[in-house]
Amino acid sequence: MTKLRILLGANLLLLLVIGAFYLGPRFKSRPGNQICIQEAKLCPDGSSVSRREPNCEFAPCPAVFNDQVPNKINPSLAEWLRTAKDDDTIKITLWIKEESTDFKPTRPIPGQITDPKEIDDFLKKVDQANAERVKKAVKPVVERLNSLGYTVETNTGAPIIFMTATKKFILELATWDEVLSIDRGDIVAVPL
């Protein structure tokens, strides 16, 4: 009977050692036995999110898009907005609306001007007129952004503004009447 007890004790001890060896690393790798409180946060779009591990923080709310936003935000930027937090930043390109769509020819009419100096003078006038038109369109938006503390860059050839903004501010920019569209700054696309 004592041999049987010793054999059973040895087997039990062997199972405990194997169990500790197998399960020990699993318990060590857990950040702790933290239990998240089951509560929900109501998001601006009406949906709700719950807390999630490992720190029991609320999951981010989905990006808020109103009726004006989808037509202004480029799909690749919209995809980034869906996963970004409110204070995440990205380089963006703002296309600004122009009041006047009365564009003049940007090249001389064939056969009208043949002298190279006259062609150069014509092209300089076109570039200067275009730069003035663009400056007139972007100036109020640049001043508004500067007053909000943003540093921006512009382009004399097109009514665009380059800047870095947070997700939250991008969504606000999409509601501005002056903004035609918003693209990722690393991907420049001409709006149709």
pLDDT, residue 25, reads 66
Question: Tens of pLDDT along 16-38?
Answer: 778 777 776 665 555 555 677 77
Domain ranges of the chain: 1-30, 33-61, 63-184
Secondary structure of the chain: what % helix, strand, coil (to 5)? 40, 20, 45
Q: Give the pLDDT means over successive 10-residue stretches in the chain (192 positions).
A: 79 79 64 70 74 79 56 86 88 88 66 76 82 90 94 90 94 91 77 51
Q: What per-residue confidence (pLDDT) applies to 68?
A: 44
What pLDDT score was predicted for residue 70? Answer: 58
Supply the CATH classification number for the domain 63-184: 3.30.70.80
Pairing of strands 153-154, 48-52: unpaired
What's the predicted TM-score (pTM) here? 0.57
pLDDT score, position 83 = 85
> How many other CB atoms are there within 10 angstroms of residue 51's CB atom?
15
DSSP string covering 44-106: TTS-EEEEETTTTEEPPPPPP--SSSTTTB-HHHHHHHHHS-TT-EEEEEEEEP-S---PPPS
Tell which residue, 51, 93, 87, has the closest CA to residue 166: 87
Residue 130 has a pLDDT of: 82
Give the full edge-to-edge strand order of the sheet including 40-42: 40-42, 48-52, 57-58
